[in-house]
Structure 1
Amino acid sequence: MSLKNVNHDASPNPWSITTRLTGLYIGSATLILLVIGFYLYQSLATTLAQDNKQFLSKEIQLLRGVLQEQPLNIERLADEQSEGLNLPTGGYYSRILDESGHSLSETPRMNTLPSATQFPALSGMPETNERVQKLADGRTLMLMTASSKTTPQQTIQIGLDISHEAALLAAYRRNLGWALLIGLLFSSMAAIFVARRGLSPLAEMTRHIEGITATQLNEQLDPAYYPKELFTMAFAFNAMLLRLSKSFAQLTQFSADLAHELRTPINNLMGESEVALSRPRSADEYRQILESNLEEYGRLSQIIETLLFLARAENIEIALHKTRLDGRSELEAGCSYIEALAEENGVRLICQGQGFLYADAQLFKRVLSNLLLNAVQHTPAGGEVCLSIQTADDGSVDISVQDSGCGIGAEHLPKLFDRFYRVSSARSEEGTGLGLAIVKSIMDLHGGTTVITSEFGRGTLVMLRFTSE
């Protein structure tokens, strides 16, 4: 998918980091407040319910004790029931029923309960059969039913008005709701402040970056000024600026060199064409001019073809067809290709070593021919160029091309792989200054390395290392 399509499919208004952090902060605060509020409410409600259950259970135990007395003392039973009438919090109700369901004794308030009041069914444990019922008049009761431990068995029905507690819990819920809303309001304000304050270094970094132009690539960020989370980003940004600065410098130099390289053949073509058109000429003279122009066209074509190759190599658009090559045979084939030029210049070619490597055959031949041509051209008569191959312990293969030529000064070595770079300030008509740039690009495609060592006046050594498959 192209970048254009990705941008088109993406959200047109993505949330800012400040908005996201604020939302996460508010969401977290909401969850925390809800959990705390729920816990406090449940704790209060449980505590009140336990107190009420304990009160009713205690009353049931007292009534059971009275019912166990023989003979049954109805007056003492009524006195015991009346002790809970003056509760400061709410009404208390109790009733004793015989086996046939008739009331033996009950509190005076028992008759005020509506007929819709439903006591829980009788069970063995009074603590497990309580029921909370809201009456039509707005009152809330906790009801409990128990049996006596006598024969015949009586039924104890007891109730407690907990309307005040229900009102207390309702008010508590309202207060918690308001506390939650107010807490969320202040949490939102705090979240916005904290998010903006926390992201202020990023905003300052953005303003600094926005002020950087192509002419201000030396204005780097100070990583020590930024927090730990942005330290790596600032360091990476500075490294990017260094790469951009270097690339701009190389591009400027490349443009100047390209203009110089293209200007020479174009000027030659224009000059010869102007001379040819200055007066009528014979067919042989026009033929000579066209042949001369053809040489210049060939030079232009070579420069353009090489530049296109380098562009494709840098964009990894060249498909590699790696095969297992006999290194010694490839070196000897390269020497055979350049042998005529070597004999003409009085240079001896030597091949040494054995080994196999995995590489693209055509590209490897191009690397060898460029290195050999460069070595032979810079080796004086009577000198020699030695090619050797050696397999390392890790499976990688080292190929070296060493000449006994004039050598290269140390100040030139870092720039030898730059396009159009030449050691001599005077530009010769032979070559384009792109040979070593091609070698470096091909080795990069293979994942290999290229190292040049040289000593002025004592020759140059180029070492190629091909990794194992």
Structure 2
Amino acid sequence: MRPRSLTTTLALAFAATTLAVFGLVGTFVYLALEQQVKVQDDLDIVLAARHTRRLADELTDYGDILRHRERLESQVLGNEALSLRISDSAGKTLVQHNVDPAIGTLEMPTAAVPANAQITERAIAPLAIATGAPIRALAVDAALQNGTIATIVVMRDMHDRWLLLDRYRDKLQLAGVLGVLLAFCIGYFLVRRAMQPVREMAVNAASITSDKLDTRIEASRVPIELEPLVVSLNGMLARLESSFQRLSQFTADLAHDMRTPLSNMRGAMEVALARPRPVEEYQATLESGLEECERLSRMIENVLFLARAEHPQFAKNMRIIDGGKELQHIADYFEGLADDAGVHIVACGSAMLRVDVELFRRAVSNLLANAMRFTPAQGMITLSIHSAEDRVRVCVENEGAPIDPSLLERIFDRFYRADPSRGASGTTAGSAGLGLAIVRTIMDLHGGRAHAESDARSTRFILTFPVVEASDLPEGGSISRSQISNL
């Protein structure tokens, strides 16, 4: 089932709110009016009963009541809903005015107010005739001059009040229905108009394609409440554009770097097959092809590593280690390679790190192998670690020609070489331009940072890790040859 539109939902919510408000206000007003009408009618009954009893108290006997009948009836004249009945002590009716036959036969459910008692609204009793119309009546006793008692009953027919309240209730209900419909229509119009920026955002977003990733949603025309959403969407588009550009560049660089060894192998094979050759030349051609295959394998493995490292949970075997001991292990392993290259490796310092050990070794090994390629003979490479207040710094420093400051950030890009022509002058054979990119990716996985510094004295690659606390030192371990096989 398709969900209801947000505009309709909000309009219905406005209508329901209006209905609830109308219902509460209408009920309150109706009950207040009903109470006010009841109080006013009860006051009319009490006043009529008081005046009639005061007049009756001045009369001598029942005969005077008959003689002053018009005077007594005048207390209820002018209000057709009021009626009066005066009877003697035996219940015989002496005076009767505006009394409906159905009302005249009713008996008071309560005793009459005594002659010497105060008449109040609490003495009024509700009655009902056969038609169901409500009656409110008040019975009081009046003491005549000769000591006899006359009973005065003042009654109020509430049928007109019923009709008044019914009509008022009907009008309130009609006003409520019209108000709800009006609120729904106005709410629908206002919400639809307020949602116009959202529809414009949807149109703008629909126009963004792979070749228009630089398009952004205009934030100046949206309400303040939608600005965070627009900022977030534009940020997402910027990240997608950056990722798409990196992916395009990465794909182009990968294709270029894979084409080179394939072209080398194809050229060597074509030369070897051009004419019959000695076995030694065929063996040399196969060895050259094998080296190119190994280069391709290393490149593919590094690319797969970078692809897997995009997942935030890739570095999940985190533990606390002594960074100084790990640097010494790495230096010991590279000692043989360093002797062949004619350089010296020194490890110093100590600090605790929380890392994935295999990834940490790979990052430092990449930096160390890179330093060995550019350190002159008899040069020095220093592996150091020290902790500051809020970070731990691991530094791989080597002597040699400085790096142009404008390239210090670009050298961490994938497949980047200092030589724009992508020749061998900016790198060495076997390097695919992924070693430093892997280092930066590993640091991102650890929540750290990798950067380079270079001057006439030396070049320094610095890995910055968050500070950790540890109570026990981890067990030492040695680095395997496979960890530098992909440099």
TM-score under structure 2 normalisation?
A: 0.83
Cα separation, 2, equivalents of 1:423 and 1:162: 104
2:360 to 345, 364, 384: 364
2:406 pairs with 1:407: no
1:229 aligns with 225
Contact 1:120 1:145 in 2 (8 A): no
2:9 aligns with 20
1:308 counterpart SS class: helix
1:3 aligns with none
2:177 aligns with 181
1:90 aligns with 81
Cα separation, 2, equivalents of 1:401 and 1:376: 11
Q: Alpha-carbon deviations, 1:34-72, whole Å to 9, x = none?
A: 223223322322221111011112223334445656855
Equivalent position amino acid for 1:107 in 2: Q
Equivalent position amino acid for 1:252 in 2: S
Task: Pick which of 361-370 and 219-228 moved more.
Answer: 219-228
2:484 aligns with none
Q: Alpha-carbon deviations, 1:174-212, whole Å to 9, x = none?
A: 222222222222222211211111111221122122112
Contact 2:85 2:97 in 1 (8 A): no
Q: Percent of counterpart pairs with the same letter?
A: 32
Higher relative contact order (CA 8 A, sep 6+): 2
Contact 1:120 1:143 in 2 (8 A): no
Cα separation, 1, equivalents of 2:129 and 2:176: 31
- What aligned pairs does 1:132-171 form with structure 2 within 5 A after superposition? 132-133=126-127, 135-137=129-131, 139-145=133-139, 156-171=152-167
Task: Pick which of 122-131 and 29-38 moved more.
Answer: 122-131
1:351 counterpart SS class: strand
Q: Alpha-carbon deviations, 1:337-374, whole Å to 9, x = none?
A: 22233233332222222222222221111111011111
Contact 2:73 2:84 in 1 (8 A): no
Cα separation, 1, equivalents of 2:80 and 2:416: 101
2:406 counterpart SS class: coil
1:243 aligns with 239
2:45 pairs with 1:49: no
Cα separation, 2, equivalents of 1:448 and 1:415: 18
Task: Pick which of 250-259 and 438-447 moved more.
Answer: 438-447
Equivalent position amino acid for 1:29 in 2: T
Q: CA deviation at 1:93?
A: 3.6
2:51 pairs with 1:62: yes
2:176 counterpart SS class: helix
2:430 pairs with 1:435: no
Cα separation, 2, equivalents of 1:149 and 1:453: 120
2:344 aligns with 348
Q: Alpha-carbon deviations, 1:110-151, whole Å to 9, x = none?
A: 361257746443488852354555544474422345566999
Cα separation, 2, equivalents of 1:155 and 1:70: 13
CA 256–79 in structure 1, closer or farther in 2 if over 3 Å, else same: same
Task: Pick which of 283-292 and 442-451 moved more.
Answer: 283-292
Contact 2:84 2:152 in 1 (8 A): no
Cα separation, 2, equivalents of 1:152 and 1:238: 100
2:127 pairs with 1:127: no
1:373 aligns with 369
Contact 1:399 1:465 in 2 (8 A): yes
CA 368–79 in structure 1, closer or farther in 2 if over 3 Å, else same: same
Contact 2:88 2:149 in 1 (8 A): no
Contact 1:81 1:94 in 2 (8 A): no
Cα separation, 2, equivalents of 1:339 and 1:359: 24
Cα separation, 2, equivalents of 1:305 and 1:448: 24
2:303 pairs with 1:337: no
Q: CA deviation at 1:288?
A: 4.9
- What aligned pairs does 1:191-340 form with structure 2 within 5 A after superposition? 191-274=187-270, 288-340=284-336
Q: Alpha-carbon deviations, 1:365-403, whole Å to 9, x = none?
A: 111101111122122224322221112224x42212222
TM-score under structure 1 normalisation?
A: 0.85
Gaps in structure 1 of 5+ consecutive residues: 1-11
Equivalent position amino acid for 2:418 in 1: V
2:412 counterpart SS class: coil
Cα separation, 2, equivalents of 1:158 and 1:19: 58
CA 390–247 in structure 1, closer or farther in 2 if over 3 Å, else same: same
- What aligned pairs does 1:385-396 form with structure 2 within 5 A after superposition? 385-394=381-390, 396=391
CA 119–270 in structure 1, closer or farther in 2 if over 3 Å, else same: farther
1:466 aligns with 465
Cα separation, 2, equivalents of 1:134 and 1:208: 73
Equivalent position amino acid for 2:441 in 1: S
